[in-house]
Amino acid sequence: MKDIITVAVVNFKVDAADKESNLSRMCGFLEAGAKRGADVVLFPELCLYGYDYYVDEAVSQESKIATAETIDGPSCAAIAEITKKYGIYTVFGMAEKKEDTEDAVLYNSAVAAGPEGVIGSYRKMHPFETESVWCEKGDEPFMFDTPWGPISVGICFDTYQFPELMRHYVYKGSRLYLNPTAVIEEIPKEGSRQAFIDYYAPTLEYGVLCNTIFVASANLTGTDQVNYFGGGSCIIGPKITPFFETNMTYYAGNKDNVQEGIYMETLDLSLATRRLAKNSRFTGVPDYRPELYKKFL
């Protein structure tokens, strides 16, 4: 299993409800990242069409179904052409149809593609508030195999409010967790930027401190149809310290950045020790005890 990997995250400004424009620019960022040496490129939640369109209750469900695609559709195929050409991996957000019918079930999904083409999709397990009006809840975790071991995926609310998912992935061997997200900065409100940072950054940082892994987060930025998204796409992970305690640092991007662009860094995944999921040198067994937690349910 390889340790050294170059990861890129994209602060992405959607053209609201304009799939052709968004897909073209996503392909451009993906190809640019590949040429600069990226092994993995992460895009935000619902970046293929935009976030606001799907949470707009004035838009009919029939219209939302019509704009969504299956993972066998043309948008995923276009992305997969690039991942196959350059031998890289990508994850991006879109509204996914379960099947290509007029009454199809929809999911808020993150699609993974790699050197062999489309790999599959993670369907958001915890839709946020009004998202549950247009999409169903997913019910399966999702990791995909790479030369660097399994890479795991959660979407936005999954990451910020449900730490069980990331911990599950860590226990299963993931050293890199991807968070495609769509976090709003409510600019009409005083102090909104600080409110965004106070919510967004600490939950990601806790994931690193708690699990001793790397976390890559790609957020929408700028105005969609209505909402203004806060950017802040970043890659964070364990920091070398002279002490036993885990510490963390920002490797690429930062929580203050609202400019559209691609931000990347080469990481050493061997720093992701996943120490709570490994045998303790004191007890010979992991500190993490999922068999016990099941009894609490």
Under 8 Å between Cβ of 166 and 155: no
Q: How many helices (H) and strands (E) does the chain have?
A: 9, 14
Please give the pLDDT value at position 242: 77
Cα 227 vs. chain centroid, distance in angstroms?
A: 20
Tell me: pLDDT of 245 over 90.
Answer: no
Please give the pLDDT value at position 188: 86
Give the percent of the chain with pLDDT over 70: 99
Residues 155-206: tens digit of each pLDDT: 999 999 999 999 999 999 999 999 999 999 999 888 999 999 999 999 999 9
Indicate the burial class of 191 (C-beta count within 10 angstroms; 0-12, 13-18, 19 or more). Answer: exposed
Cα–Cα distance between 120 and 77 in angstroms, integer? 12
The CATH number assigned to the domain holding 228 equals: 3.60.110.10
Cα–Cα distance between 32 and 76 in angstroms, integer? 18
Tell me: pLDDT of 244 over 80.
Answer: no
Please give the pLDDT value at position 297: 80
pTM (2 d.p.): 0.97
Under 8 Å between Cβ of 264 and 14: no
- Confidence class for position 136, pLDDT limits 50, 70, 90: very high
- Looking at residue 51, its amino acid is Y
- Provide the domain limits for residue 16: 4-296
Tell me: pLDDT of 279 over 80.
Answer: yes
Cα–Cα distance between 285 and 279 in angstroms, integer? 4
Please give the pLDDT value at position 204: 97
What is the DSSP-derived secondary structure letter of residue 12? B
Residues 50-83: tens digit of each pLDDT: 999 999 999 999 999 999 999 999 999 999 999 9
Residues 198-243: tens digit of each pLDDT: 999 999 999 999 999 999 999 999 999 999 999 999 999 999 887 7
For residue 7, the surrounding DSSP H or E stretch is: strand 4-11
- How many Å is the maximal CA-CA distance in the chain? 59
Classify 225 as helix, strand or coil: coil
How many domains, the chain? Answer: 1
Task: Give the number of C-alpha atoms closer than 13 A to the C-alpha of residue 165, restricted to the C-beta side.
Answer: 25
